[in-house]
A and B are shown apart, each in its own frame.
Chain A
Amino acid sequence: MSRELINLIIQATGESLFMVSVAALLATFFGLPIGIFLATSRKGELFAAPAVNSILGMVVNATRSTPFIILVVAIIPFTRLIAGTSIGSGAAIVPLTIAATPFIARLVEGAIREVDGGLIETASSFGASPLQIVLKVLIPEALPGLVLALTLAVVSLLGYSAMVGAVGGGGLGDLGIRYGYQRFMPEMMLAVVVVLIALVQTVQTAGDYLARRVNRRLRHR
């Protein structure tokens, strides 16, 4: 493979990592509180607001059921509003974030719901406020699950990022389609797939390791 092609792969990997990491950070920033709220706002729960809970749940479901490629195109005006442009890696972060936020919210909800309800009662029994319960009980106790949830979200984002080539987002997926498929360069396609596999493998292994490290239910000594 020529020097130029290798440079293309390196550049595309950089674009993918940039889009995915910024989108993952933003989606966590928005998705974490939404997920915690979804997990604690049904009837009789900590922040009980059943009506808001079901409306938010429906919005989350609607976003998640929209195919990503349609979402990318459908929100182009919004993307332009936020990013100033609708093309390029920076602009691609907007649809990536919007797609990943509800996904992360649902995963966070699941992880938080895994926490034993008895612990919430216990913290309430010694006078903890709802916010203290979230910060001192729910998040620390759900941490292994949260780490795994975020790992899953990053891996999914790598998959989504292959589609943003449609709006000039660049990245590995775009490279694979344009050079590997449209210009019929199977070795390019193969290289892109190998790099993606390596990335996913690395993210998953790191996530698993971190989740084990923060899990105190396992014995460490």
Chain B
Amino acid sequence: MNVHQSLTAAQPVETPPVASAPTERDTMVRFESVSKIYPAYRDKPSVQALTGIDFAIPRGSITGVIGRSGAGKSSLVRLINGLEKPSAGRVVVDGRDISALAGRELRLAQRSIGMIFQHFNLLSSRTAADNIALPLEIAGWSRAEIAVRVAELLELVGIADKYDRYPSELSGGQKQRIGIARALATRPTVLLSDEATSALDPQTTRAILDLLANINRELGVTIVLITHEMSVVRQLAKEVVVIDGGEIVERGHVADIFTHPRHPVTQAFLSEVVGDSVPVSLASRLVAQPIAAGRAVIRLQVRGSNAGDTVVARLARELSIDVALLSARIDEIGGQHVGSLTIGIPGGEAAVKQAVTYLSQHNFPAERLGYVA
């Protein structure tokens, strides 16, 4: 029974319960103590790309894999579709050890794993429709079957009117839509996305991510998102794996990771999204010593509280002072507020101490940055 038999009729998607331990049935991809070493070649030394990777990707989920460039993300995703073989350990996809397959068996298994790429990788010699048809030709479908399937896919990704256009005549977003249609052609159960939006502008990125979310919801395809952009993970993924130096440094639900990042790499990625740096205009006016009739500048972190948006108002009311809002950025991630606020507190040392105490009591870590006039 194939859950993708119809594109239009949405089949119920199994989502594993959050708390219970994942069983074999709930797991789409499982890494078991996987290491990947690229042997030395000519003047290049050997490279340990991945070390001791152990994790499971739930069936039907959207899982983000985030890391800096060179962290091992690409190796990780290429182990899932058998383009690379692990040096140690196993990679099990849909109950099958993909790392043990070779030749014809591997090629058959690869048809149930779609992949989309940063630079789209479309054939310039083929039209949109013929690009989508390529994996079907390779799988040996008949012309008639291919025509029907390609028409469905063009419709699904919303570029039905571009069927006879060559890639050189299309925009980046349109090309990636063809890439997605092509990846879904053979009705895969897993879709791997290798930086699929990194070459697109923010608006197109959002549209492509929406399309991926739809595909996940309607077809139940498990999506693995490789990216170096936290905003992509935030918009789409439920689960996130942070890798650095070839190792998993943090993993969990997106909301948890965003609200309580522990590893420095995760924190760095997070500050990219919430922007906890002090604005230049403010930083240039900051001085270390109190100024008469000036304000103390305090930065407070909003992490996982659901009251981040009203904290300034409550602080002002509680202490009866005019709290100045100097800069603020609050985002909602997984239903929780995440961000940082920079505020100015007037009224001398006593008021500042009171304010800091109030804030820390209410779980807003605060630090004094200095003073402004």
Contacts and interface: CB of A to CB of B under 8 A. Distances in A.
Interface of A: 43, 116, 118-119, 121-129, 132, 136-137, 140-141, 143, 214, 216-221
Query: Which of A123, A124, A125, A216 is the most central at the interface, judged by chain B CB atoms within 10 Å of its CB?
Result: A125
Contact of A218 (B108, B113, B114, B168): B168
A7 B95 CA distance: 78
B110 A125 contact: yes
B114 A219 contact: no
A125 B166 CA distance: 22
B123 A141 contact: yes
Given A141-B124, A219-B168, A136 B134 contact: yes
B143 to A, nearest CB: 15
Query: Which of B41, B114, B166, B185 is the most central at the interface, judged by chain A CB atoms within 10 Å of its CB?
Result: B166
B69 interface: no
B121 interface: yes
Contacts of B134: 123, 126, 136
Q: Which 10 A-B pairs have the closest CB atoms?
A: A127-B107, A127-B110, A126-B135, A122-B121, A140-B125, A216-B166, A125-B115, A118-B121, A128-B138, A127-B111
Given A127-B138, A219-B169, A221-B169, A118 B110 contact: no
B81 interface: yes
Interface string B87-112: 00000000000000000101111110
A88 to B, nearest CB: 42
Nearest to A221: B169
A141 B125 contact: yes
Contacts of B183: 126
B70 to A, nearest CB: 18
A221 B182 CA distance: 24
B114 A126 contact: yes
Nearest to B135: A126
Query: Which of B104, B114, B121, B186 is the most central at the interface, judged by chain A CB atoms within 10 Å of its CB?
Result: B121
20 contacts: A116-B121, A121-B121, A122-B115, A124-B83, A126-B115, A126-B134, A126-B139, A126-B183, A126-B186, A127-B106, A127-B108, A127-B110, A132-B138, A140-B123, A141-B123, A143-B125, A217-B124, A217-B168, A219-B169, A220-B166
A216 B128 CA distance: 12
Nearest to A43: B41
A128 B81 CA distance: 13
B206 interface: no
Interface in B152-183: 166-169, 182-183
A119 B123 contact: yes
Contacts of A136: 134, 137-138
B169 A126 contact: no
B371 interface: no
B34 to A, nearest CB: 19
Contacts of A220: 166
A140 B123 CA distance: 9
A214 B126 CA distance: 11
B121 A216 contact: no
Contact of A129 (B107, B111, B113, B182): B107
A118 B125 contact: no
A216 B114 contact: no
Query: Which of A126, A129, A218 is the most central at the interface, judged by chain B CB atoms within 10 Å of its CB?
Result: A126
Contact of B119 (A118, A127, A219): A118
A196 to B, nearest CB: 34
A119 B126 CA distance: 13
A198 B126 CA distance: 35
Interface string B360-373: 00000000000000
A214 B125 CA distance: 8
Interface string B114-142: 11010101011110000000110111000
B46 to A, nearest CB: 14
Contact of B83 (A125, A129, A217, A219): A125
A11 B153 CA distance: 59
Given A122-B121, A216-B167, 11 more contacts: A118-B119, A118-B121, A122-B117, A123-B134, A123-B138, A126-B185, A129-B107, A216-B166, A216-B168, A217-B124, A220-B166
A122 B122 CA distance: 9
A55 to B, nearest CB: 19
A73 B276 CA distance: 80
B117 to A, nearest CB: 7
Contacts of A218: 168
B138 A126 contact: yes
Contacts of B81: 125
Contacts of A127: 106-111, 135, 138-139
B176 to A, nearest CB: 13
B42 to A, nearest CB: 9
A12 to B, nearest CB: 40
A219 B185 CA distance: 27
Contacts of B169: 219, 221
